[in-house]
Amino acid sequence: MKKFFSLSLIFLLSFVVLTGCAGNQSATTEGQPKEDVDAVTTASIVSDEAAFTKAISKDGTWIIATLNDLTFDKELVVEGTFHNKGKASNDVYRKIAPYTQDENHNITESFTITAPKMIIKSPNTRFQGGIFVGDIYVEANGFNVNKATVKGNIYFAKDEYKKSFEVSNGEVTGVTEVKADTDVVAAASINITDEAVFKKSISKDGKWIIATLNDLTFDKELVVEGTFHNKGKASNDVYRKIAPYTQDENHNITESFTITAPKMIIKSPNTRFQGGIFVGDIYVEANGFNVNKATVKGNVYFAKDEYKKSFEISNGKVTGVTEVK
C-alpha cells in the first residue's frame, strides 16, 4: 500500500505540475530526462494553508500548485529568487498554479486563494489558472496573470514594476496602479472578510486603516482604540480610518458595505468612518471623530462636549441624535 501511494504521488506531481510548465512534458517520470525529474523534486503540491505559506516563502519552491481552495486571515508574501524548473541555469521564474488540467494542457478546474493581500517580491512570478480574492502588491518585475482572475486591485511599488506587468487571457476586477508608499501596505488591514479579523484590526494592536469587502455582523460591542498615524508613519498626523467600501481608479465609491453591532466605542483620536453603513449606536470617547460619505443608522453619543465640538459629518448622515451623554 505504501509503495502504491508513493507511485501515485510521483504520477500526480508529474502530471499536474510538469504539464503546467513551459513545453510539452511526459505525464510520468518513466523515460523522462533527468532535468524533468529534477523539476518534480523542486515543486510543491500543497493542500493546506500552512504548506502553501511555506512553499511561497524564500525557502520554498519555484512552482506551487494547489488542488483545493485555500483561505487565509493574514497577508501572503511571495519572496525569494527562483528559476524555471528549479535549475539555476534557467531563466528566473516562479509560478503559483491553483488549478488542474488534462493531458492537452486545458484547465479542468480552477481553485480560489483568498487572503487580505498578497505581496509579490519574487521576480517573474506568474499567477496562473486560478482565482485570487484580495489585493496584490507587487514589489518585483515581471508579474503576470495568465488565464486567471484577481478579484481585487493590483498595486505596484514602482512604475517599473507596472510596466513589466502582463495579463494574458486573465482578468483583474479592480485597479492596476502604482502605489509607491509600501509602508501603507505594511501598516494597513485591507480586504477583511470576517468578524474576528476586523475586531483585531480595530484594537490597539491593529492597523491605521481597516477596510472590508463585505457586510459584517457582531453580537457584541466593538471597541476602536489606540493612537495611529496616517499611512502608518509616526511622522504623519494622528489618524485612523474604517473603510467598508470599494472604489474605482478615480476614488469614486462603487459599493458600500454594512457593519452591524449593538454599539461601537471610538477611543482612537481622529477616527474617520468612511464610505459604508454602520447599524447601531456609536459612543465617542476621543476628539476628531468624522463620518464621511457614510451613514450611521443609529445615534452618536459623546462622552464630553469637547468630543462633540470636534465631530464632523462630510457628505454623510446620522439617522438618530448626536448628543453628549
Q: What is the full per-residue pLDDT of the chain (325 aa) written as tens digits?
A: 433 333 333 334 444 443 444 333 333 334 444 344 333 444 678 989 999 999 999 999 999 999 999 999 999 999 999 999 989 999 999 999 999 989 888 999 999 999 999 999 999 999 999 999 999 999 999 999 999 999 999 999 888 999 999 999 999 998 898 875 444 444 455 656 688 889 999 999 998 999 888 899 999 999 999 999 988 888 899 999 999 988 776 678 888 999 999 999 999 999 999 999 999 999 999 999 999 999 999 999 999 999 999 999 999 999 999 999 9
Query: What does the pLDDT read at residue 12?
Result: 40
Question: In angstroms, rounded to a whole number, what is the distance separating the alpha carbons of residues 171 and 149?
Answer: 5
Q: Which CA distances in Å does 293 have to 37, 154, 176, 274, 314?
A: 58, 25, 24, 6, 6
Query: What does the pLDDT read at residue 193?
Result: 67
Question: In angstroms, rounded to a whole number, what is the distance separating the alpha carbons of residues 286 and 247?
Answer: 28
Query: Residue 66 phi/psi, 5° resolution?
Result: -130, 145
Query: What does the pLDDT read at residue 223?
Result: 98
Those residues whose C-beta lies under 8 Å from the C-beta of residue 324, and which sit 6 or more positions away, are 301, 302, 303, 304, 305, 308
